[in-house]
Amino acid sequence: MWRVGIDVGGTFTDLFAWNEENKNYRTAKVLTTKDDRSRGVLQSIEAAGIPFDQVSLLMHGTTTATNALIERNFPDAAFITTEGFRDTIEIGRQHRKALYDPYQTKPEPLIRRRNRFAIDERMAVSGVPRRPLNADDANRIAETIAARGIQSIGIGFINAYVNPQHEEEMREILRRHVPDAHIVISSETRPIFREHPRFVTTAIRACLMPVMTSYFDRLREALDARGFAGTLLILKSNGGVMGAENAKERPEELIESGPAGGVAYASYLSRTTDFANIIHTDVGGTSFDASIVEDGRGLITRNYELEWEVPVSVPMLDIHSVGAGGGSIGWVDEGGSLRVGPRSAGSEPGPACYGRGGTEPTITDANLVLGRLDPTLSNKFALDVAAAERAIDGLAAKIGLTRLQTAEGMIRISCETMAQAVKGVVVARARDPRDFVLASFGGAGPMHACFVAQAMNIPKVVIPGQAGVASAFGATAMNVRHDIEAFHYADLGSVRVEDLNRIYGEIEAKARERLIRDGVPAAQVAIRRTAEMRYVGQTYEVDVDIPHGTLTPAHLPQIAEAFHTAHRQEYGVSSDDFPIAFVALGVVATGALAEAPVFSFAAEAAANGAGDRSHKVYFDGHWLDAALKNAAEIRPGETIAGPAVIEYLDSIAVLPPGCDGNVDPHGNLIVSITN
């Protein structure tokens, strides 16, 4: 039986699969079918030659939820809130993205104002009702929603995280008027204080439920028709997977579903190499993703923003994404400056060199013109060099540069954009990039990794043998995971440990129920306790690991020291002068799946080593003779001196002059970076 990982990107749909009996593996890469991404999933399995009835686990990373939100491509939804809070999801926190830009505009609200309703009710912060839910108003709102044919409804009342009574009452009234609608309440979506992120996350769930329910039902129906009888698991933003039924009910947890697979592969690398701390980067056709893996674990954030002032307040891998990929389009702004991205040619029509009707210059076209791509892609795909040259020439004419200057300028600008994304995750988490290695994934990643590392003073780059399908590979190495939290504010010095034990017991029981629903046997369940904590008076929290078992007052000094350590790691300082407070309690519940084996992608290297070939490549204004190598012919331990171009099955690695690479026993190319 096969374990199959699939990552659907903006341009390509990638597959990595390994046989659970003999540990053989297969890969595939097909163009993403943007009209219905589920077709690309099926096509990738067919391209890999894997019978559907031989798939035991299908682990699927998807950008469908993210694309639906960014494009506002979902059915009309409604939102019901407390009187006075109707515009909270649009007003936000009154922050400015650019302090001195008078022309900035807020993102388009997820839910139009005409479909946002306010109702007379009030719950005190203590959880005691101050004003009951106005039943007449509730019925009138429900009738209006039904008359408009709206089938997705979010409910977010102030202080409902303490007592959900009024939200539950409103839901029951709606069920009588719109019985088939998707109805979500904030006290179940995100039972934590701060109304803006709680309301927005609830609205996101309401907007996405019909989209993702339709997608997963369509995919499951197509899989079943082809004989699939295995388990369909969906990648989550927190670095785990969950069953499709849970995913339909919690689509807000899928925002970083695709990139999460890459983080999992970086964690796999940290277990199989000597590199504990890795900056994971992934360059696809449309975007560049960057995140940190520290001691084998991806860092988590609760401050992710889909767009400015559109927070997704659930535990997510701290991934920073920018519009820079192989399909990113070069253009000239109003001031006459060369720009690249974020607009992408995607898979339809794709870069000009794909010969699918594209005419605009992309990063892929620029790499081809500079000699960094073989026009035949090692006899896998014929690239149209003349079309790429025409596209670059058109851009060059607008800015008064030569073809080569324009192409190299596009690459430099794109790599600087990528470097800034790396800076965004590393510096924001108070880490020094010199303490990390950069792992490069994605079909276009290894072409640019050394340049990004040079810009950030990162000493080494790791290019895996399967970099082109890394996110799909990572999907096969993930466990079922659920993060559940509950609000609980209390000073550490006066907290009642019996309250902590009670709340942890309740949320652990919920977590086990979700894992069981995903088919995880009780013996394979692991629970890790966490708490969001802060110094009293702060407005931000840090995650702290909490001991297992029954807590006693004797555990509190240990928890305090763990908090100080976590605070120093995140912010560089800690203090014994300020009291400490709990803000929320949480558990990370995982269901362990069979761990992916250690693959050696260099196992079949030719006995006589690589052939001596060279190729003209353009670097820094000059054509240089660069070694051209097939990765399948490179022996472990062999050193490759830059400049060089190394062709993998699903990607191309470019080593600039002065950067030398060495292949380790597992087939990873370890590149030493010089500036």
Are the CB atoms for 469 and 571 separated by under 8 Å? no
The percentage of residues in the chain with a pLDDT greater than 70, rounded to a whole number, is: 98
H helices present in 375-428, as ranges: 385-399, 403-426
On the question of pLDDT at 25 being above 60, the answer is: yes
How far apart are alpha carbons 251 and 201 in whole angstroms? Answer: 10
What does R_g of the chain's alpha carbons equal in angstroms?
26
Can you give the pLDDT at residue 379? 65
DSSP category for residue 42: H
> In the structure encoding, which two tokens stand for residue 214, read together?
């339709």
Can you give the pLDDT at residue 467? 87
Size of the chain in residues: 675
Mean pLDDT of the chain: 91
192, 219, 516, 560 from 489: Cα distances, Å: 10, 43, 30, 15
Q: What residues are paired with 527 via a beta bridge?
A: 589
Strands 277-283 and 300-301: unpaired
Tell me, rounded to whole angstroms, the distance of Cα 177 from its chain centroid: 37
The percentage of residues in the chain with a pLDDT greater than 90, rounded to a whole number, is: 65
Can you give the pLDDT at residue 609? 47
How far apart are alpha carbons 345 and 553 in whole angstroms? Answer: 60
DSSP category for residue 274: S
On the question of pLDDT at 406 being above 70, the answer is: yes
- Residue 266's SS3 state is helix
Can you give the pLDDT at residue 374? 82
On the question of pLDDT at 610 being above 60, the answer is: no
On the question of pLDDT at 620 being above 50, the answer is: yes
Half-sphere exposure (CA, 13 Å, Cβ side) for 420?
9
Residue 611 pLDDT grade (very low, low, confident, very high; cuts 50, 70, 90): low
On the question of pLDDT at 92 being above 90, the answer is: no
What pLDDT digit, counting tens, does each position of 60-84 carry?
998 889 888 988 999 999 999 999 9
How far apart are alpha carbons 134 and 146 in whole angstroms? Answer: 18
What pLDDT digit, counting tens, does each position of 641-654 carry?
989 999 888 889 99
How far apart are alpha carbons 33 and 30 in whole angstroms? Answer: 9
DSSP category for residue 469: G
Are the CB atoms for 440 and 275 separated by under 8 Å? no
35, 292, 293, 297, 618 from 271: Cα distances, Å: 38, 15, 11, 10, 37
- Closest listed residue to residue 8, CA positions, set 237, 284, 326: 284
Residue 284 pLDDT grade (very low, low, confident, very high; cuts 50, 70, 90): confident
**Least confident range of 9-13, 23-27, 509-513:** 9-13
How far apart are alpha carbons 312 and 326 in whole angstroms? Answer: 28
Token pair 């009642």 is at which residue? 496
- Closest listed residue to residue 644, CA positions, set 374, 372, 377: 372
How far apart are alpha carbons 378 and 662 in whole angstroms? Answer: 22
More confident residue, 430 or 552: 552
- Residue 609's SS3 state is coil
Token pair 């659930």 is at which residue? 314
Token pair 């058109």 is at which residue? 394
Average pLDDT (21-28) is 89
What pLDDT digit, counting tens, does each position of 450-482 carry?
999 999 999 999 999 888 898 999 999 999 999
- Residue 193's SS3 state is coil
357, 393, 538, 623 from 397: Cα distances, Å: 21, 6, 54, 22
Can you give the pLDDT at residue 60? 95
DSSP category for residue 14: E
How far apart are alpha carbons 19 and 91 in whole angstroms? Answer: 51
Q: Taking CA 612 as the corner, what is the angle to CA 608 and CA 615, rounded to the nearest 5 degrees? A: 150
**Least confident range of 45-54, 545-554, 573-582, 627-636:** 627-636
Residue 565 pLDDT grade (very low, low, confident, very high; cuts 50, 70, 90): very high
Can you give the pLDDT at residue 89? 93
Strands 652-655 and 644-647: antiparallel
Highest mean pLDDT (candidates 408-417, 594-603, 628-637, 660-669) = 408-417
Can you give the pLDDT at residue 636? 87
How far apart are alpha carbons 556 and 580 in whole angstroms? Answer: 11
Structure pTM? 0.87
Are the CB atoms for 181 and 174 separated by under 8 Å? yes
Can you give the pLDDT at residue 608? 46
- Closest listed residue to residue 463, CA positions, set 651, 622, 237: 651
Residue 380 pLDDT grade (very low, low, confident, very high; cuts 50, 70, 90): low
> In the structure encoding, which two tokens stand for residue 285, read together?
């056709």
Half-sphere exposure (CA, 13 Å, Cβ side) for 661?
30
Q: Taking CA 112 as the corner, what is the angle to CA 107 and CA 118, rounded to the nearest 5 degrees? A: 120
Burial of 193: CB neighbours in 10 Å, binned 0-12, 13-18, 19+: middle
On the question of pLDDT at 525 being above 80, the answer is: yes
3-class secondary structure for 53-66?
A: HHEEEEEEECCHHH
On the question of pLDDT at 607 being above 60, the answer is: no
H helices present in 192-335, as ranges: 195-225, 244-249, 257-272
On the question of pLDDT at 142 being above 90, the answer is: yes
Can you give the pLDDT at residue 272? 87
Average pLDDT (344-372) is 90
201, 242, 455, 485, 641 from 589: Cα distances, Å: 21, 11, 38, 11, 46
Highest mean pLDDT (candidates 194-208, 363-377, 513-527, 623-637) = 194-208
Q: What residues are paired with 27 via a beta bridge?
A: 16
Count other C-beta atoms under 10 Å from residue 278's C-beta: 24
Residue 425's contacts (CB-CB under 8 Å, 6 or more residues apart) are: 279, 290, 291, 292, 318, 319, 320
Average pLDDT (43-67) is 93
Can you give the pLDDT at residue 307? 82
Are the CB atoms for 326 and 350 separated by under 8 Å? no
Are the CB atoms for 318 and 324 separated by under 8 Å? no
Find the helix or strand (DSSP H, E) in which 136 lies: helix 135-147
H helices present in 444-496, as ranges: 445-456, 470-475
Find the helix or strand (DSSP H, E) in which 293 lies: strand 288-294
Q: Taking CA 474 as the corner, what is the angle to CA 40 and CA 465, rounded to the nearest 5 degrees? A: 95
Phi, psi at 132, each rounded to 5°: -70, 160
Find the helix or strand (DSSP H, E) in which 369 lies: helix 363-369
